[in-house]
Amino acid sequence: MSSVTVRVPAKVNVQLSVGPLREDGYHDLVNVFHAVSIFDEVVAKEAEGITVQVNGKWSDQVPIDDSNLAIRAARALAKHAGRSYGAELIIHKNIPVAGGMAGGSADAAGALVACNELWGLGLPMDDLMEIAGDLGSDVPFSLIGGTAVGTGRGEQLSELPTGGTFHWVFALANGGLSTAKVYAECDRLRAESNAEVPWPTLNDSLMEALGTGDAYALGAHLSNDLQPAALNLRPELGPTLDSGRQHGALGAIVSGSGPTCAFLAIDATHARDLAESLTATGAAHTAVAAHGPVQGATVI
């Protein structure tokens, strides 16, 4: 095989509960991931060394040096296999960069699946999941997609059944936010308020809403502990969230560490209308309608 193409989705967190800061600098989470239909494509072609090029939206914001997560994924896979394989990786970007939608993690997951195929390794999902967890907390979820709860750093996953398709609108912001900075701001705000940080637990009402496919109930139970920190760093997101609620969103939330804002719509038509309203009123410069859950990294 001389070329493999993998399609890999973005995510939104429908519950992101952040526990106390751990000694290793991470936080224990209850992180309910939901994969949505905004996709990057990762192509892996036979080559000597491992290189990456990025095209499509925001490609100029993605590093193509050794810090690129897709390169690191391909290297980690080659190391795991014990051989010095090569691949030219070509990423077609659609997922916002540093937007709180796991764009970098998606590309890493895409590279793992593409190179596993290109190099004929045939490694099982369990092996890929282990390598993925070392690359980043969100990479394992990008492999499996669907809807899943992540504990630990977010890398220990259990799949969750959902009772239907949910329709979303994503308001893309100008520029990204560093995940590490948003967590640090969350810690700072917590220290300032002196409040006890509870151990994170799964919201049963949210589980029920996902299981029954009830968008109204899901909208009412969306939660994100990183939202106050993201809003502190990017105050202009507050009016964006308000505008979505005014246009009938069932729930409005910062996606992960932001700055993308996620709005749950009633159905596909409402999602299209909501996206139009958000851009027409200037509340968002770009708004994209999408649905979830969708499957994780897939060879196409």
Q: How far apart are CA 55 and CA 173, in angstroms?
A: 19
Q: Of these, 11, 34, 93, 153, which contacts ligand C5P (CB under 6 A)?
A: 153
Backbone angles phi and psi of 114, in degrees to 5: -65, -45
Q: Which of 173, 186, 265 lies closest to 16 in space, CA to CA?
A: 186
Q: Residue 101 Cβ, how far from ligand C5P at the closest point, in Å? A: 13
In a 13 Å sphere around the CA of 73, the CA atoms on its Cβ side amount to: 33
**Closest approach of ligand C5P to the CB of residue 265, in Å:** 28
When the beta carbons of 25 and 198 are compared against ligand C5P, the nearer one is 25
Task: Tell me: does residue 154 bind ligand C5P (CB under 6 A).
Answer: yes
Give me the phi and psi of 247, to 5 degrees please. -95, 20
Binding letters toward ligand C5P, positions 124-143, x by CB under 6 A:
------------xxx-----
Closer to ligand C5P at the Cβ: 224 or 243? Answer: 224
Choice among 40, 93, 107, 138 that is catalytic: 138
At closest approach, how far in Å is the CB of 144 from ligand C5P? 16
Residue nearest to ligand C5P (CB): 137
Among 4, 6, 16, 29, binds ligand C5P (CB under 6 A): 29
- Chosen residue from 26, 127, 231, 276 binding ligand C5P by CB under 6 A: 26
- The token pair at 47 is 């080559």
Q: Considering beta carbons, is residue 24 or 82 the nearer one to ligand C5P?
A: 24
Q: Pick out residues in 176-235 that bind ligand C5P (CB under 6 A).
A: 179-180, 183
Q: Of residues 11, 93, 107, 225, which has the active-site annotation?
A: 11
By C-beta, is 104 or 251 nearer to ligand C5P? 104
Give the number of residues in contact with ligand C5P, rule: CB under 6 A: 12
Task: Provide, rounded to whole angstroms, the least separation between the CB of residue 162 and ligand C5P.
Answer: 23
Binding mask 86-125 for ligand C5P (x = CB under 6 A): ----------------------------------------
Q: Does 42 bind ligand C5P (CB under 6 A)?
A: no
- Nearest-5° angle of CA 17, CA 110, CA 4? 165
Q: Choose between 167 and 234: whose C-beta lies nearer to ligand C5P.
A: 234
Q: SS3 string of the chain?
A: CCEEEEEEEEEEEEEEEEEEECCCCCEEEEEEEEEEEEEEEEEEECCCCEEEEEEECCHHHCCCCCCCHHHHHHHHHHHHHCCCCCEEEEEEECCCCCCCCCHHHHHHHHHHHHHHHHCCCCCCHHHHHHHHHHHCCCHHHHHHECEEEEECCCCEEEECCCCCCEEEEEEECCCCCCHHHHHHHHHHHHHHHCCCCCCCCCCHHHHHHHHHCCHHHHHHHCEECCHHHHHHHCCCHHHHHHHHHHCCCCEEEECCCCCCEEEEECCHHHHHHHHHHHHHCCCCCEEEEEEECCECCEEC
Query: Does 150 engage in binding with ligand C5P (CB under 6 A)?
Result: no
28 counts as catalytic: no
Is residue 57 annotated as a catalytic residue, yes or no? no
**Which residues have a catalytic role annotated?**
11, 138
Which spans of this chain sit near ligand C5P (rule: CB under 6 A)? 25-27, 29, 136-138, 153-154, 179-180, 183
